[in-house]
Chain A
């Protein structure tokens, strides 16, 4: 129960951060990506703030060794850079650039139930399910427990 409450609380804080930073607004995101137009640097400040605090917390987590409400820290295990990774990043970047929305802001915005967001989230879910249905699940050689640790980095 405490584990679920912690996850809910962290999701809530994450969502609040996205709202306060303006990153739920596609025009702020596309304003950053528009390097040849009226450039809006806000996203860089969001990343800087987030990475600085997260890195501090991660250093603390490494020193503690184990989390409070679970048995171990599930750090992403892979360090290789293969073709699916690169191709996935390119496809993701295409979609992100086209619409200015990525998964976190999409789910926060879903609460407003505007038609474009609903369309985006349904399509995003279908894209995720579609990838899961592909016969070869990339080059993951299952060392971690798939029921606990996702092979993904995020």
Chain B
């Protein structure tokens, strides 16, 4: 077990949970990022403002942290931009087709004890584990 950062993980997770709970208690909305962001890109107008406000909040977090001296996030990623583009397409298309992502199905779905969301989460997590195994270890799966 390497690199485990359990305490900051739990603390950050609790904040994510608090934001998720807060969005439901205050606005009645589910904090599913692919649904919120995807709705911004969809045709039907009318409920864009709240989605934009949530996404702006997400992006404001590192900006405010940078005012306090933290560096802006520049995550270490593959230099292969084609691979990154394929990954982005799959994440975008798949999250809409599957009605949600790590936040909507993973966090909200488990918190609601939704069998549908728990099934989706297990499927995408299993697929991702196999993908990483194949990419990193050949036929390690």
Q: Are A67 and B27 in contact (CB under 8 A)?
A: yes
Q: Are B99 and A13 in contact (CB under 8 A)?
A: no
**A126–B111 Cα gap in the complex (Å)?**
30
- Select B127's contact among A5, A75, A90, A154, beta carbons within 8 Å: A90
Q: Which residues of A contact B119 (CB under 8 A)?
A: 81, 85, 89
Q: Which residues of B contact A49 (CB under 8 A)?
A: 9-14, 16-17
Tell me the smallest distance from the CB of A12 to a CB of chain B, in Å. Answer: 4
- Select A153's contact among B4, B19, B92, B116, beta carbons within 8 Å: B116
Tell me the smallest distance from the CB of B100 to a CB of chain A, in Å. Answer: 3
Q: Which residues of B contact A6 (CB under 8 A)?
A: 22-23, 26-27
Q: How many residues of A contact B (CB 8 A)?
A: 128
Q: Are B53 and A104 in contact (CB under 8 A)?
A: no
Tell me the smallest distance from the CB of B108 to a CB of chain A, in Å. Answer: 6
Tell me the smallest distance from the CB of B69 to a CB of chain A, in Å. Answer: 13
- Select A45's contact among B2, B13, B53, beta carbons within 8 Å: B13
Extra pairs beyond A10-B22, A27-B76, A146-B44 (6, CB < 8 Å): A69-B26, A88-B94, A94-B94, A97-B128, A123-B88, A150-B35
